A and B are shown apart, each in its own frame.
Chain A
Amino acid sequence: MPEGAMAVVKPEMKSYVWLETADGSIQQVEEEVAMFCPVICREILQKSMGSSKLNAIVLPERVNPATLGLILDYCRFHQVPGHSLKERKAFDDRFIRLDTKKLCELTSAADSLQLKPLVDLTSRTLARIIEGKTPEEIREIFNLPDDLTEEEKLEPLKNVTDDPRIRLLNRLYARKRKELKEREQRKNIEAEEEHVDARSVDDLLSFINGEDKETKGAKTSKSKKKNRRKKALLKECSNNENGDHKELNGVSYLNDNDTAEDGLLDSGPSSEMLDLMSPSKLDFDDGDIDDDELDPAMKEELDREVEDFARRLNSDWPERMQEILSRGQGRKLTPISINGNGSAQGYTGHQQR
């Protein structure tokens, strides 16, 4: 009986405050719950706000009625002393089961109310959602605009992870672009193709794939004399690339890439650290490998390899990025193939010329 009496009395004893959200709606909330937010607490204690509907505490703009409801749920639980750590954790785990949009809104709202424990909780949750995901996945989850060029996307990775596959892709990309430019110059008939540079790798590749056969004939009559040595080297390289490619098709292609990377890093120039990938630089790189001086058969073969590799890199780009980025966590035990290593040496020599 006394307990029942208490229960009846208690609500009457509770004091309430009035809160107004940016949309103008006003609601009445238990004072002790609202006081858990430092911003509201200050308004009540320092400015004596919230005591009536006319004197409602105006909440920051980032707090909308829906997030306010969530925040009050959070405060209602955590302002009560005596919950064990385990209970708090269980509550938090249940509490943050929200879609990412709500999570972001909640983080922002909690931040504007200076409710630090909730900001930490939601930020940690967002980080957990992001961790280990590919940029594509993250973009999709959070509706991020895909407003970076391929080059820009690679740049920070190149600088920090210095992944030679990215370097390789860049070289392939640059070479293809130059090739297209040249073709364009030669066959001025199709004048529509104007801004080759601006197109995505996908466009370039489909273009290459579609038009490759027609253009080949135009490029075959070349002087071969002075470039014999270069050719030999390229042949070696292309054979190795071929080797690479075979392995790429197989299960162990990643580990092969790893060794390729290792080879590159072994002798890789350290000055590449801040080597930003300006197009001019790429063109310069490209000049190194003058496709036009190749004999046609080899050229064809090389083209195929390049395309294949580029397509591969491109088609499963999300997975590849994921692999690139998660290397070291996932695949510690993959064996290294000696064959792959040999090809890596070939690449290195090639690159340094």
Chain B
Amino acid sequence: MDNGTAHDFLSDLPLSITEIILSYLPIRDAVKMSTLSTKWRYRWASLPQLSFCDTCVSLSADKSVVESKLIKFITNALLLHKGPIHKFKICTSILQGCPDIDQWLLFLSRNDVRELTLELGEGEWFRVPSCLFSCHKLTLVELCRCELDPPPGFRGFMSLRTLTLNQVLVAPEAVESLISNCPLLENLTLSYYDGLDLNLNAPNLKYLCLEGEFKEICLEDTPLLEVVSITLYMNTDEIQEHFEHSSGCNFVKFLGGVPNLERLIGHIYFTKYLSIGVEQWTPPLTYSHLKIIELYQVSFEDMKELLVVLRLITNSPNLEEFQISGSSNTNAIVEAPNLEFWETECPSDCMFKLLKTVKMTDMCGVPHEMELIKFLLGNSPALEKLSIVPCIYVTELKVDMLVELVKFRRASPRAEILFLQE
């Protein structure tokens, strides 16, 4: 066909490969490929993944114009598309709730969509149409800024493995039943979620990420959970009051049934949350798989929070990495700290056999911080690196911190101590 030197190698590639190449292109470029030659005409149209974003259309000052352009682009792309659509993704700040999205979703629900991501712009939230709940092949659902209201007869997504709800308005009971009705669910992310109470039943759940206002989180049935990342906001009066009167132990409710936990990340208020009722906690629970613990904004003045920290690390015999940051509230430095606490609460035979890395940030040099450092240094024979980043407000105490640090006995001859400033 081609004469001599000029050979069209690209078009001669097998269809499976040209599909891979097209799938790596932004959809605009993929569509553009249609204008290359007869062999590339409408090749994009059978791509099983369609991903749309703001760059699909040109921006202009008039928002409604851009919005209608994007709507048209997506509608046309769906109309021109042929074959199955496995993945459909919209990430845009331009679009808000509009009737067209309902139609797209209806179209997709008839095309056995498997992965659906809808991330729309701020403004009017979009109500997820009921046809979404009839997409039985869904394995991944990511929704952002919308209203979710499963119909009464909804029996769950039998194949769903990943569910991400970010700023989604949904009733707490609806979330709980949605989650428990997805037997294969492995990844769950709820962010900006203000459901307050959450009871999780997800026998296959491995990854959990929660962010929002909560009064009670209870991991009722999550035996396979491996990674947990929690950010709690409990600064409203209602929540504060709830905690003052709450009975029971949050630690047990939250971490009582997760024997396979490998990584725990607790952001703001998480340690405080766990500390409620911690003194009642007696049964020795061992997290033998827990390798990484990260706790942020821990208040070293609160003995109950310290207890949480100690209980967690001393019950994780295979811990490899530990990261903690202080809440840098220097005003609250206690005059006469109760240092006996460390003698009574630290098991003398505790060894962190595998602990290699410790990172402590926002340290103020208060006695309890130094005690924790001393405890870790003295009981971690495999420690390789301990880094300390002092809180930016600490100035004159730094030297005292260093003097004390030098004194501490180290169980690991190889331990390197890094005192990082800024």
Q: Is the CB of B31 within 8 A of A156?
A: yes
Closest Cβ of chain A to B36, distance in Å, is: 5
Chain B residues whose C-beta falls within 8 Å of the C-beta of A259 in the assembled complex: 60
Question: In the complex where A104-B9, A143-B2 touch, is A273 in contact with B59 (Cβ < 8 A)?
Answer: no
Question: In the complex where A107-B17, A127-B24, A336-B60 touch, is A138 in contact with B65 (Cβ < 8 A)?
Answer: no
| Other-chain contact of B8, A105, A128, A143, A161 (Cβ < 8 Å) | A143
| Other-chain contact of B17, A111, A153, A265 (Cβ < 8 Å) | A111
| Other-chain contact of A131, B9, B17, B26, B68 (Cβ < 8 Å) | B26
- CA of A146 to CA of B2, assembled, Å: 12
Whether A22 sits at the interface, judged by CB under 8 Å, is no
| Other-chain contact of B77, A104, A108, A152, A160 (Cβ < 8 Å) | A160
Chain B residues whose C-beta falls within 8 Å of the C-beta of A161 in the assembled complex: 28, 31, 57, 73
Question: In the complex where A142-B8, A259-B60, A328-B59 touch, is A135 in contact with B36 (Cβ < 8 A)?
Answer: yes
Closest to B75 in A: A273
| Other-chain contact of B76, A145, A160, A329 (Cβ < 8 Å) | A160
Whether B25 sits at the interface, judged by CB under 8 Å, is yes
Whether A312 sits at the interface, judged by CB under 8 Å, is no
- CA of A258 to CA of B69, assembled, Å: 12
Chain B residues whose C-beta falls within 8 Å of the C-beta of A108 in the assembled complex: 12-14, 17
Complex interface: stretch among B37-45, B110-118, B125-133: B37-45
Chain B residues whose C-beta falls within 8 Å of the C-beta of A332 in the assembled complex: 59
Mark contacts of A93-108 with chain B using CB atoms, 8 A cut-off: 1 yes-contact digit, 0 otherwise. Answer: 0000000110011011
Q: Is the CB of A144 within 8 A of B36?
A: yes
Whether A199 sits at the interface, judged by CB under 8 Å, is no
Complex interface: stretch among A45-53, A76-84, A116-124, A177-185: A116-124
Question: In the complex where A107-B17, A143-B8 touch, is A123 in contact with B24 (Cβ < 8 A)?
Answer: yes
Instruction: With a 10 A CB-CB cut-off, give which of B7, B13, B16, B26 has the most chain A CB atoms.
Output: B13
Q: Is the CB of B8 within 8 A of A144?
A: yes
Chain A residues whose C-beta falls within 8 Å of the C-beta of B68 in the assembled complex: 265
Mark contacts of B57-77 with chain A using CB atoms, 8 A cut-off: 1 yes-contact digit, 0 otherwise. Answer: 111111001001100110111
Interface residues of A: mostly helix, strand, loop or mixed? helix
Number of A-B contacts (CB under 8 A): 144
Q: Is the CB of B34 within 8 A of A126?
A: no
Whether A325 sits at the interface, judged by CB under 8 Å, is yes
| Other-chain contact of B9, A101, A147, A329, A335 (Cβ < 8 Å) | A101
Q: Is the CB of B29 within 8 A of A132?
A: yes
Closest Cβ of chain B to A266, distance in Å, is: 7
Closest Cβ of chain A to B8, distance in Å, is: 5
Q: Count contacts on B: residues with CB < 8 A to the other chain.
A: 51
Question: In the complex where A139-B37, A265-B65, A328-B58 touch, is A130 in contact with B21 (Cβ < 8 A)?
Answer: yes
Mark contacts of A155-187 with chain B using CB atoms, 8 A cut-off: 1 yes-contact digit, 0 otherwise. Answer: 011011110000000000000000000000000
| Other-chain contact of A143, B7, B38, B40, B75 (Cβ < 8 Å) | B7
Chain B residues whose C-beta falls within 8 Å of the C-beta of A247 in the assembled complex: none
- CA of A100 to CA of B17, assembled, Å: 15
Within 240-259 of A, Cβ neighbours of B (below 8 Å) are at: 258-259
Q: Is the CB of A147 within 8 A of B37?
A: yes
Closest to A154 in B: B35
Whether A270 sits at the interface, judged by CB under 8 Å, is yes
Question: In the complex where A100-B9, A162-B76 touch, is A146 in contact with B37 (Cβ < 8 A)?
Answer: yes
Q: Is the CB of A107 within 8 A of B32?
A: no
Whether B6 sits at the interface, judged by CB under 8 Å, is yes
Whether A331 sits at the interface, judged by CB under 8 Å, is yes
Whether A66 sits at the interface, judged by CB under 8 Å, is no
Chain B residues whose C-beta falls within 8 Å of the C-beta of A196 in the assembled complex: none
Closest to B73 in A: A160
| Other-chain contact of B35, A156, A162, A258, A270 (Cβ < 8 Å) | A156
Whether B10 sits at the interface, judged by CB under 8 Å, is yes
Q: Is the CB of A131 within 8 A of B25?
A: yes
Closest Cβ of chain B to A326, distance in Å, is: 8
Question: In the complex where A328-B54, A329-B55 touch, is A159 in contact with B76 (Cβ < 8 A)?
Answer: yes
Whether A148 sits at the interface, judged by CB under 8 Å, is yes
* Contacts beyond the supplied A119-B20, A143-B8, A162-B73: 5 A-B pairs with Cβ under 8 Å: A143-B2, A143-B7, A144-B8, A157-B31, A159-B80
Q: Would you list 13 pairs from A and B whose C-beta atoms are within 8 A, ordered by A residue?
A: A127-B21, A127-B22, A130-B29, A138-B36, A142-B11, A144-B10, A145-B2, A156-B35, A156-B42, A258-B60, A265-B69, A266-B65, A331-B58
Top 9 A-B residue pairs of the complex, sorted by shortest distance between their CB atoms: A327-B58, A127-B24, A104-B9, A156-B34, A328-B58, A142-B10, A123-B20, A143-B6, A153-B35
